[in-house]
């Protein structure tokens, strides 16, 4: 790492402690400014010049890396003429452009922001200060700073961003006030731990969720948001990208998307079956018969399907996407055995079949009430269907669990 002015290390008084100026590191930049770009010729040069001026004022050696997403205007030419490194990314998307730029960057500290001059590239010092203090991810918070008139559409400011942020806070227990701020800093080590994969706008949400899953140190600083300086409309599309963010948030929260509603439906379905097991009942003058039992069975089977999907989704996310483990996944990885589940399903199937056969003989003998025995038949049939469901879903779940201990 190289400081331009080696006699003055202010404002980063501990840079020499955290990053020894060894001969082998003399040319390594202190920080990389990451700019995603797609046809940004109007404002890209403004951003690059601001970054260069900021590096000079802070007396640090930094680099500028532009992740170009296939620009057809003069963006690449402008970036290279101003000394920026260009990382070409043929895969379309905001996240893909940033990933290409980060891969090309050479420093251990990285700060990203858009190329439309809406974020203040001269305000790098607070991000660097937080990184130096030990933060792994430093989030800008536009709502704690100043959102200048015309900088954020009404729906984004008062509906979209607050709603998506609140949903994320509730589902992931993350105390970040602006999930979708495009200006943020992070360390190379944190980046390597997060394993980010989303190519589109949902990349911003994925970064915060993955940082939380990896228990990284996250901090926030107030920043200002200025109006977009471009004459053309932004790449962001309100409803399309809003939905993509919400879809990602829900997909990575299988406990809330599947398990909680699934288990609730299973519970409700079981209540119907228990209450109506011996036949119709009257509650507060209301006759409750076979139709309610059929409804309860449908709710039960739906809940069972949703619950098994949730367990499989959670196991997949933990084992394949390297998320933090949880009790459900731990149990599946260490105590789930396909053979035991299949044996249990077989016993359940036999029990249900035996009840059905018994009911059939009692019907033939005329020794049982049709209305009462049909309730038993429904319950027995549900046992058979449940056993078949467990058999197939267990084979599917077994594909995704870790089997190192077997």
Residue extents of the structural domains in the chain = 15-251, 254-398
The most confident of the ranges 94-108, 188-202, 329-343 is: 94-108
User: If you average pLDDT over residues 349-377, what whole number do you get?
Assistant: 78
* The pLDDT of residue 11: 43
What pTM, to 2 d.p., does this model score? 0.73
pLDDT surpassing 80 at residue 69: yes
* The pLDDT of residue 366: 66
Grade residue 378 by pLDDT with cuts at 50, 70 and 90.
Answer: confident
Q: How far apart are CA 397 and CA 314, in angstroms?
A: 10
pLDDT surpassing 70 at residue 205: yes
pLDDT surpassing 90 at residue 405: no
* The pLDDT of residue 245: 80
Give Cα separations from 84 to 62, 120, 261 (angstroms).
10, 18, 50
Q: How far apart are CA 18 and CA 3, in angstroms?
A: 13
Grade residue 369 by pLDDT with cuts at 50, 70 and 90.
Answer: low
Q: How far apart are CA 404 and CA 401, in angstroms?
A: 9
User: If you average pLDDT over residues 288-308, what whole number do you get?
Assistant: 92
pLDDT surpassing 90 at residue 223: yes
The lowest-confidence range among 33-42, 233-242, 366-375 is: 366-375
* The pLDDT of residue 208: 93
User: If you average pLDDT over residues 200-229, what whole number do you get?
Assistant: 91
* The pLDDT of residue 16: 39
* The pLDDT of residue 372: 62
pLDDT surpassing 60 at residue 1: no
pLDDT surpassing 90 at residue 236: no
* The pLDDT of residue 328: 78
User: If you average pLDDT over residues 374-396, what whole number do you get?
Assistant: 90
* The pLDDT of residue 5: 34
Does residue 233 or residue 300 have the better pLDDT? 300
Report the chain's mean pLDDT, rounded to a whole number. 86
pLDDT surpassing 70 at residue 368: no
The pair of three-digit structure tokens given for residue 37, joined into one six-digit string: 């770009």
Grade residue 253 by pLDDT with cuts at 50, 70 and 90.
Answer: confident
H or E, element range at 35: strand 31-37
Q: Mind listing the pLDDT tens digit for each residue in 317-356? A: 877 765 566 777 778 888 788 899 999 999 999 999 998 8
Does residue 331 or residue 208 have the better pLDDT? 208
* The pLDDT of residue 107: 95
Residues paired with 225 in a beta bridge:
119, 147
The lowest-confidence range among 7-16, 212-221, 258-267, 356-365 is: 7-16
Cα Rg of the chain (Å, integer): 29
Q: How far apart are CA 299 and CA 341, in angstroms?
A: 23
Does residue 22 or residue 184 have the better pLDDT? 184
E-assigned strand segments in 38-117: 62-68, 85-88, 109-112
* The pLDDT of residue 395: 92
Burial class (CB in 10 A: 0-12, 13-18, 19+), 140: buried
Q: Mind listing the pLDDT tens digit for each residue in 10-47? A: 344 444 344 333 333 457 899 999 999 999 999 999 99
* The pLDDT of residue 25: 46
- Count other Cβ atoms within 10 Å, centred on residue 150: 9
Angle of helix 290-321 versus helix 327-335 axis, rounded to 10: 80
E-assigned strand segments in 144-299: 184-187, 218-222, 281-283, 286-288
Grade residue 404 by pLDDT with cuts at 50, 70 and 90.
Answer: low
**Overall CATH class of domain 15-251:** alpha beta
């Amino acid at each position: 790492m190289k400081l331009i002015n080696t006699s003055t290390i202010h404002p980063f008084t501990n840079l020499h402690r955290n990053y020894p100026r060894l001969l082998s590191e003399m040319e390594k930049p202190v920080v990389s400014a990451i700019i995603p770009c797609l046809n940004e010729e109007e404002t890209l040069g403004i951003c690059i010049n601001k970054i260069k001026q900021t590096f000079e004022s802070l007396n640090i050696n930094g680099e500028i890396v532009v992740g170009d997403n296939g620009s057809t205007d003069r963006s690449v030419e402008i970036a290279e003429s101003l000394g920026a490194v260009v990382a070409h990314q043929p895969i379309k998307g905001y996240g893909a452009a940033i990933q290409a730029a980060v891969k090309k960057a050479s420093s251990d500290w990285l700060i990203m922001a858009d190329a439309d001059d809406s974020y203040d590239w001269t305000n790098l010092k607070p991000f660097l200060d937080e990184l130096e203090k030990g933060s792994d991810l430093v989030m800008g918070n536009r709502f704690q700073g100043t959102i200048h008139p015309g900088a954020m559409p009404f729906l984004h400011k008062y509906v979209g961003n607050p709603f998506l942020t609140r949903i994320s806070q509730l589902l992931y227990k993350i105390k970040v006030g602006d999930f979708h701020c495009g200006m943020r800093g992070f360390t190379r080590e944190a980046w390597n731990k997060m394993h980010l994969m989303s190519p589109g706008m949902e990349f911003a949400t994925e970064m915060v969720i993955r940082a939380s899953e990896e228990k990284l140190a996250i901090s926030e600083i107030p920043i200002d948001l200025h109006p977009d300086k471009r004459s053309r409309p932004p790449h962001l599309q309100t409803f399309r990208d809003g939905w993509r963010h919400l879809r990602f948030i829900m997909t990575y929260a299988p406990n809330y998307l599947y398990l909680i509603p699934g288990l609730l439906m299973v519970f409700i379905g079981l209540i119907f079956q228990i209450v109506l097991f011996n036949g119709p009942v009257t509650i507060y003058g209301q006759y409750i018969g076979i139709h309610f039992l059929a409804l309860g069975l449908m709710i039960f089977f739906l809940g069972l399907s949703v619950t098994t999907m949730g367990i499989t989704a959670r196991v997949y996310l933990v084992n394949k996407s390297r998320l933090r483990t949880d009790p459900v996944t731990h149990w599946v990885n260490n105590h789930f055995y396909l053979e035991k589940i299949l044996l249990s399903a077989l016993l359940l199937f036999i029990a249900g079949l035996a009840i059905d056969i018994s009911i059939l003989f009692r019907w033939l003998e005329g020794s049982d009430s049709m209305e009462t025995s049909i309730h038993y038949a429904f319950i027995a049939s549900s046992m058979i269907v449940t056993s078949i469901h467990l058999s197939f879903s267990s084979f599917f779940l077994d594909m995704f669990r870790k089997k190192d201990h077997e």
